[in-house]
Amino acid sequence: MSDVRISESGFDLDQIDRLLTTTRAVRKRLDFTRDVPDELLFECIDLAEQAPTGGNDASRRWMVVRDQEIKNELGELYRESGEFFLKARGRLDGTGHDKEKVVSSSSYLVENLAQAPVLVIVAIWGIHDNSGRPGLFDSVVPSAWSFNLALRSRGLGSAYTTMLNGRVAELAEVLGIPDSVTTIVTFPVAFTKGTDFKPAPRRPAPEITYFDQWGFTRARPSAEGTARVADGQGVVVEIDTDARPDAVWPIISDIEMPARFSSEFLGAEWTSEGEPGVGSTFVGRNEIPDVAAWEVTCHVSAWEPERCFEWRITDPDKPGAIWRFDLAEQGRGSRLRFSMIIGEENNGTAPQALKNPDREEQVLNGRRQTLKANMQATVEGVKALVDGD
């Protein structure tokens, strides 16, 4: 028996998945000493042209720049546009900041774009008219990414760059591009130094995939395709604040805060001694007006100041629900994510939903609409507090 995973359509999935997961933005590992033959570029462009275009319109054009003087001019434009990367690198180098590596790598390209053996610029006939019809970007982006994948499959690499889009007039002048054409992406192309690129950390699909309603998550895939208690049905709401994580954390780590904004939470108090951390407990008081009032013990299962706070209700091993705040820098402010997953037992919803399999999805979704409204009110309340709206 071979271990090769062949898909229904006949593809070797290990190979395909390796291509799809390891095609990285390559900058410092571009080998500027080795030429890239035209033959390989034609091959990659032919592959990329298999991508769709709006209206099946064959309007993409590919410019390959090899002339060193022209590359120097483009490199200078790119350097001017990327000045902010060099400044950010000065601030971030040695700090261990999340963006330190990407800023260092992007800065390297800002300083070295013209060293690439070839620059490939993808353009399209047409100019932006904000008409809402299939846009120019939309028709270039799929093929530009196919081009990147084709490069990777042949030992070449690149970084998808758009910084020159702020300098279209100069770009057009240097390359003799007519007014009726829009340039969309610039690829510095080279063989890569080594080929051992790795998958990047990304958010897993269950956290960012919503079923039927915005924010309705599923922790595990459903065999039937419908919402089932056993698959961990959840809710996510997110909001961006102008305030930095250090200003948002004191609000979200205050266990009484949700009671100020959500109609179901009445209040909470710590029942464990000492500073809060993983293993701490608090009791939360809840009610659904005119239906039920209840108290639950909450077990803190993640506590990382300025990053996340998670608690499990009733039984930490068989939680009735898992609640969680995540906080991350976003631009100059923060993105706050408030999420929950309904447990398989130790709550009011699961038995209700499981009573009648025909209504399981309906019960889960009805409950989630209420939870979502309360969670949305909570993150909006947090935003108002920290941004002073």
Residue 89 in contact with ligand FMN, rule: CB under 6 A: no
- Minimum CB–partner distance for residue 128 and ligand FMN (Å): 15
Asked if 156 touches ligand FMN (CB under 6 A), the answer is no
Q: Does 149 bind ligand FMN (CB under 6 A)?
A: no
Nearer to ligand FMN, 163 or 227 (CB): 163
Closer residue to ligand FMN, CB minimum distance, 161 or 192: 161
The angle at the Cα of 260, spanning 256 to 261, to the nearest 5 degrees, equals: 125
Residue 159 is a binding residue for ligand FMN (CB under 6 A): yes
Residue with tokens 């971030």: 92
Closest CA to 116 of 205, 47, 36: 36
Q: Interface with ligand FMN includes 107 (CB under 6 A)? A: no
Among the listed ranges 40-48, 156-164, 330-338, 347-355, the one in contact with ligand FMN (CB under 6 A) is: 156-164
Q: Which stretch binds ligand FMN (CB under 6 A): 87-95, 153-161, 248-256, 265-273?
A: 153-161
Q: Judged by CB under 6 A, does residue 152 bind ligand FMN?
A: no
Burial class (CB in 10 A: 0-12, 13-18, 19+), 289: exposed
Using rule CB under 6 A, residue 161 touches ligand FMN: yes
Show the tokens assigned to 295: 């108290």
Residue 194 CB neighbour total at 10 angstroms: 10
Instruction: Select from 123-131, 158-166, 254-262, 352-360 the region that touches ligand FMN (CB under 6 A).
Output: 158-166
Among the candidate windows 52-60, 101-109, 121-129, 288-296, which touches ligand FMN by CB under 6 A? 101-109
End-to-end, the C-alpha distance of the chain in Å comes to: 64
Q: Taking Cα atoms as reference points, which of 379, 383, 375, 21 lies closest to residue 196? A: 21
| Range 227-286, binding ligand FMN (CB under 6 A) | none
- Least distance to ligand FMN, CB of residue 191, Å: 17
Q: Read off the tokens for 55.
A: 């209206």
Q: Would you say 99 or 220 has its CB closer to ligand FMN?
A: 99
Binding mask 182-201 for ligand FMN (x = CB under 6 A): ------------------x-
Nearest CB to ligand FMN, comparing residues 140 and 382:
140
CA angle 308, 311, 315 (to 5 degrees): 155
Q: Which is nearer to ligand FMN, 142 or 348 (CB)?
A: 142
- DSSP label at residue 372: H
List residues bridging with 304 in a β-sheet.
308
- CA dist 367 → 225, 263, 363, 364 (Å): 19, 14, 6, 5
Q: Which two tokens stand for residue 49?
A: 């042209």
How many helices (H) and strands (E) in the chain?
12, 13
Query: Taking a C-beta distance cutoff of 8 angstroms, is the pair 60, 85 a contact?
Result: no
Structure tokens belonging to residue 206: 């269950």
CA 287 vs. chain centroid, Å, equals 35
Calpha distance 162→181 (Å, rounded): 16
> What x-and-dash track marks residues 291-330 binding ligand FMN by CB under 6 A?
----------------------------------------
Residues 25-44 that bind ligand FMN (CB under 6 A): 25
Residue 106 interacts with ligand FMN (CB under 6 A)?
yes
Q: How far is the CB of 46 from ligand FMN (least distance, A)?
A: 23
Residue from the set 47, 51, 86, 102 that interacts with ligand FMN by CB under 6 A: 102
DSSP letter assigned to residue 200:
P
The answer to the question of residue 162 lying near ligand FMN (CB under 6 A) is: yes
Which residue has tokens 């054009």? 61
Among the residue ranges 147-155, 157-165, 172-180, 381-389, the one whose residues contact ligand FMN (CB under 6 A): 157-165
Q: How far is the CB of 171 from ligand FMN (least distance, A)?
A: 13
Q: If we measure between CA atoms, which residue out of 225, 205, 209 comes closest to residue 217?
A: 209
Examine residue 86 and tell whether it contacts ligand FMN (CB under 6 A): no
166 versus 357: smaller Cβ distance to ligand FMN: 166
User: Would you call 197 helix, strand, or coil by DSSP?
Assistant: coil
Contact positions vs ligand FMN (CB under 6 A): 24-25, 102, 106, 109, 159-163, 200
